[in-house]
Amino acid sequence: MSETPEHLVILAGTGDLVPEVSEAAREHAKRVSILSLVARDDLGPVEHGSLEDLPGVLAKLAALAPTHVCAVGALHISHTQRMDIADASDGARDASDLAGSANVMGLATKLGFALVGAHQIAPELLAGNGLIAGPENSLPLHGAAAAAIEAARNAGRLDLGQAVVWVGGRVVAAEDISGTSGLLVRIERYSDEGLLPSPEIAPRLMAKALKPGQPAVLDMPAIGPDTIDQAAAAGVTAIVLEAARCLIIQRKVVAERAERLGIAILGVTADE
């Protein structure tokens, strides 16, 4: 980060990204506090809150008086909670992810702190260009990786999820509210039902990209070790990530698992 935060508060959700970013934050901020929005006991001393009580969360944020806030980890945000955030930010009462991101940005401005992304605190988590992990012989051919990333961005333009699965020159499934895990479970089922050609005939690519218009400081796409296991079960042969706009959690473990399971991980820069 170009600016050293005086007091960084991490709003913690679920997942292994949270401890990685928390550890990095202590090297980048003068003071770090954690406000966990889910039950977890692996982060040391933390404040606890719940989006079921948004006024209580905002009161705890006010008491902590952060200069910067970083939201890290997965959260299930109900329709009611989305509307509560919209009302608190004086924003649009719209349940879409893009409107929700805009409302969170507006709420940060209203409360007087700056939002920062996990990638700004721990840039080493970002996907780079080219082969990141896994065997070269699993790399997609003939521009399929770039086409799959563009397809993921198109899904984002429709405010679906951040990922698609690309087989034989077309999208066969897109991420929805069930997330990447739900997407891969569907692909495994489609494969079992004979709806997809075998990976040996038509390689299966999963592509993840930031939604166009989505602030990079909120909900940046990510993969971790569990993603590799689920992708392998679904017969995915390569994972294509939008370079500089996707995070890799537990990078060493991901690389080892991708190599063992024969899945290439590739970073591609998307056309704007």
User: Tell me: the pLDDT tens digits for 84-137?
Assistant: 999 999 999 988 888 999 999 999 999 999 999 999 999 999 999 999 999 998
For the record, the structure tokens of 25 come out as 């934050």
Going by pLDDT thresholds of 50, 70 and 90, the confidence category of residue 272 is low
Please state whether beta strands 247-248 and 222-223 pair in parallel, antiparallel, or not at all (unpaired): parallel
Mean pLDDT of 1-19: 89
The confidence score (pLDDT) of residue 124 equals 95
Domain boundaries, given as residue ranges, for the chain: 8-121, 126-268
Exposure b/e, 111-137, CB count within 10 A at least 16 = b: eebebbbbbbbbeebbbeeeebbbbee
The confidence score (pLDDT) of residue 165 equals 98
Mean pLDDT of 249-265: 97
The confidence score (pLDDT) of residue 41 equals 87
- Domain 8-121 CATH class label: alpha beta
* 45 CB neighbour count, 10 Å cutoff: 6
The confidence score (pLDDT) of residue 98 equals 85
The confidence score (pLDDT) of residue 251 equals 96
pLDDT over 70 (residue 2): no
The confidence score (pLDDT) of residue 141 equals 76
- Dihedral angle sign, alpha carbons of residues 76, 81, 86, 89: negative
Model's pTM, two decimal places? 0.92
34-41 own/partner pairs: CB under 8 Å, 24+ apart? 34/9, 34/10, 35/9, 35/10, 35/11, 35/60, 35/61, 35/64, 36/12, 37/11, 37/12, 37/13, 37/75, 38/12, 38/13, 38/14, 38/73, 38/75, 40/12, 40/14
Predicted confidence (pLDDT) per residue in 24-78, tens digit: 999 989 999 999 999 988 998 899 999 999 999 999 999 999 999 999 999 889 9
- Average pLDDT of the chain is 93
pLDDT over 90 (residue 247): yes
Mean pLDDT of 198-213: 95
The confidence score (pLDDT) of residue 1 equals 55
CATH T-level assignment (fold) for domain 126-268: Cytidine Deaminase; domain 2 (3.40.140)
- Dihedral angle sign, alpha carbons of residues 59, 63, 66, 70: negative
